[in-house]
Amino acid sequence: MKSEKPMRRRPWAAGFVIFLGLVLSGGGYATATNVVQADASSPAQVDEGRKLFLANCATCHGSNGEGAVGGPSLIGVGAASVDFQVGTGRMPGQGSGAQLRKKPVQFTDPQIAAMAAYVASLAPGPAIPTEEMLRADGDATHGGELFRINCAMCHNAVGAGGALTQGKFAPKLQGVTEKHVYEAMVTGPQNMPVFNDANLTPEDKKDIITFLQYVEENDSVGGFELGSIGPVAEGLFVWIFGLGFIIAITVWLGAKSN
């Protein structure tokens, strides 16, 4: 019988295994964090975006988006972050404070798209969602469950907004476009956590958007909801008007009996 010779490890085997591991881990991370950019921007658009960036953003964010004393680094934030921040008027910022507030937009849609394309060219990051991802044809019931689990503690159960600590707040979601809701979930602006595709799948995000649209388009089944800001406002209403009415009736009956 021939004796079996021990298998010898090839010299390149270790390197190949390391390379394969890097490819798999990098690809898995990109998939999980939704960092695949749409390859639709042209060199001319990127160049135009860089000019706008240098003129309006570089003072705070650095000439190459590396960050500076006045603003964080934009490397890796992706096109979605730029589209959200600039598209809602929060950027350029006009002053310091607890958090940036929504204000009139200062750029046109093509200018915003150009700046987003430039920032996206610096490093991979969350892309601007497509129309298919924003179509509000999901499951509103499932979206409501996800919203109450992940979002209601800050934004209120129906997206009416709420106060946070140290002067910060979660803005109300009525009137916010589907695109900006989606972009906020994947970029986590200011105090909001990031909900990448490992936390909430694109279908989950579509369900949440469908729920928010349903709430905005349909009246409350309970009648006048007092701004939907919760039991504090409702209790105050009952205390002032309910008990006030009872006291007024009591005083009137006492005066009439005398």
pLDDT in tens, 190-217: 889 999 999 999 999 999 999 999 998 8
With DSSP H G I counted as helix, E B as strand and the rest as coil, what are the percentages for the chain, rounded to 5? 55, 0, 45
- For 163, the enclosing helix (H) or strand (E) is strand 162-163
Any idea which fold 131-228 has?
Answer: Cytochrome Bc1 Complex; Chain D, domain 2 (1.10.760)
Nearest to 184 by CA among 149, 163, 159: 159
Give pLDDT, residue 30.
47
The residues of the chain that CATH labels 1.10.760.10 are 43-122
Q: How is residue 227 annotated by DSSP?
A: G
3-state secondary structure of 169: strand
Lowest mean pLDDT of 29-33, 119-123, 138-142, name the range.
29-33
Local confidence band at 239 (pLDDT 50, 70, 90 cut-offs): confident
The CATH number assigned to the domain with range 43-122 reads 1.10.760.10
Contact (Cβ atoms closer than 8 angstroms) between residue 27 and residue 35: no
pLDDT in tens, 32-65: 444 444 446 789 999 999 999 999 999 999 999 9
- For 254, the enclosing helix (H) or strand (E) is helix 243-257
Q: The whole model's pTM is what?
A: 0.72
pLDDT(180) > 60: yes
Give pLDDT, residue 36.
45
Instruction: Name the more confident of 25 and 107.
Output: 107
